[in-house]
Amino acid sequence: MNQNILLNNIILDSIADGVFTVNLDFRITYVNKAAEKILGISANEAAGKLCYEIFHANICEHSCALRETMQTGRNIINKTIYIVTAEGTRIPVSISTALLQDENGGIIGGVETFRDISDVEELRKTIESRYTFEDIVSKNNRMNDIFAILPDVAESDSTVLIEGPSGAGKELVARAIHNLSGRKDGKLVIINCGALPETLLESELFGYKAGAFTDAKKDKPGRIDMAEGGTLFLDEVGELSPPLQVKLLRFLQEKTYEPVGSVEQVRADVRIIAATNKNLADEVKNGRFRDDFYYRLNVITITLPALKERKEDIPLLVKHFIRKFNALKGKVIEGVSDDVLNILMDYEYPGNIRELANIIEHAFILCKESYIQRSHLPLILSDQLSSPAEGSLNLESMERIYILRALEITSWNRTKAARILGIDQSTLWRKMKKYCIVQ
């Protein structure tokens, strides 16, 4: 008999799914090795505890799966829930439950198996882009202040202006606001105001009527129309031309617009979230941005700090991206070496979080070991570290050097260069113009 129990335990300890058993009082009688690992506990400290005091799941209190199985005799298979560890990390898990019976068929308890499905959830979120503010990784005080107001901001339905440098996560915040708001069942439509010429942008935003211009054979709905009942995210709103600012101002004021080539007013129920990497107040002062439009946009302003101002988040973000790329690329990289973490902590990140993500993605391609090493980092990072003389240059000169290097590395392929720099192609194009960089 004891030999059988020992054998069963060896078998249960060899599987990757977490398993625990409870008696009729819901007290833990067994926990396997995988469960110890997933829950971050030892079998000794779990023994005799109530199951909901070691397995802190969102269903324990109101719809316990084990209780249901023990009351109805019905097994539950692959139910997706989440548990929260002692550190406050949410882990999505898939659970199954079954009865434990003695040789006479009498019920002696229940068994629950659970599988960590963080990788699957990560993939799902990446595919569906259904991020919530719980997906924004930070322990920085300024970011925490933003987390605190985000649910209220989302609920308010007011226009939101998100300020922050390129790659700081403006789109993620916009998605979180949309997904937290009452409009979450509507679409989030994104348009980059800096990526399109003025005339094209106007027809993209407002749509056009057949015959409005050559080749306009039939009506085409604009992004505002597509976002009906949802949210329109105007990225790089600081790049909008003054005439378009006037048209959007009218839309913000009256919730109506005229498609290109039409004389009829169309009403739309769309919330506007705008983002910019410029200081719009300065742009207004310098006469480059309309003050009335600015005040209409600036109902609620969220200012995201640059990554160099929240360096305490780098280890968390590195961990986050490693988990994400493990899921996306099917790898099992454990982390980064101490040496690499030091380099990453010292770096200034002109491309902010997007650049950090790109650095980790680059390292993932080269890394064939468990830990990312210095040699797996992009050249641009090593170059920056090995040329201290450039440290005396000002920020704009450094930016110019970075852009030139990225372009040289990629044989002037702007798409690849933008990816290395962690900025949008349109931002790269604008910066190339600004610094007069030509091939």
Partner 1 sequence: MINNNPAYFRYDLCIIICMRRQNIALPVYNGRIAPLFDVARCFLCVAVEGNTVGKPEYLETGNLCVMENIELLRRQNVGVIICSAISRVYATAVQNAGIQLVHGIIGPVDEIIAVYAKNEAQLWEYRMPGCCGRGGRQGRRGRCIKGNTTNSE
Binding site for partner 1 (CB under 8 A): 39-42, 45-46, 48-50, 52-58, 60-62, 83-90, 133-134, 139, 144-145, 147-148, 151
Smallest gap from residue 56 Cβ to partner 1 (A): 3
Smallest gap from residue 319 Cβ to partner 1 (A): 13
CB-wise, 45 or 157, nearer to partner 1?
45
Tokens representing residue 241 in the block: 């031309």
Please state, in angstroms and rounded to a whole number, the distance separating the CA atoms of residues 32 and 134. 30
CB-wise, 90 or 267, nearer to partner 1?
90
392: helix, coil or strand? Answer: helix
HEC-encoded secondary structure of 212-280: CCCCCCCCECCHHHHCCCCEEEEECHHHCCHHHHHHHHHHHHHCEECCECCCCCEECCCEEEEEECCCH
Smallest gap from residue 143 Cβ to partner 1 (A): 9
CB-wise, 137 or 398, nearer to partner 1?
137
Look at residues 266, 323, 253, 244 and name the one whose alpha carbon lies nearest to residue 295: 253
Smallest gap from residue 134 Cβ to partner 1 (A): 5
Smallest gap from residue 80 Cβ to partner 1 (A): 15
CB-wise, 87 or 338, nearer to partner 1?
87
Smallest gap from residue 76 Cβ to partner 1 (A): 18
Residues across the chain? 439
10 Å CB burial of residue 18 (0-12, 13-18, 19+) is buried
Around Cβ 269, how many Cβ atoms within 10 Å?
Answer: 12
76: helix, coil or strand? Answer: strand
User: What does R_g of the chain's alpha carbons equal in angstroms?
Assistant: 27
Tokens representing residue 183 in the block: 């409009």
Per-residue burial over 306-318, b = 16 or more CB atoms within 10 Å of its CB, e = otherwise: bbeebbebbeebb
Please state, in angstroms and rounded to a whole number, the distance separating the CA atoms of residues 122 and 120. 5
CB-wise, 82 or 435, nearer to partner 1?
82
CB-wise, 83 or 380, nearer to partner 1?
83
CB-wise, 150 or 380, nearer to partner 1?
150
CB-wise, 45 or 198, nearer to partner 1?
45
Look at residues 34, 56, 36 and name the one whose alpha carbon lies nearest to residue 46: 36
Smallest gap from residue 62 Cβ to partner 1 (A): 7
DSSP state letters, 77-125: EEEEEEEE-TTS-EEEEEEEEEEEE-TTS-EEEEEEEEEE-HHHHHHHH
Smallest gap from residue 69 Cβ to partner 1 (A): 18
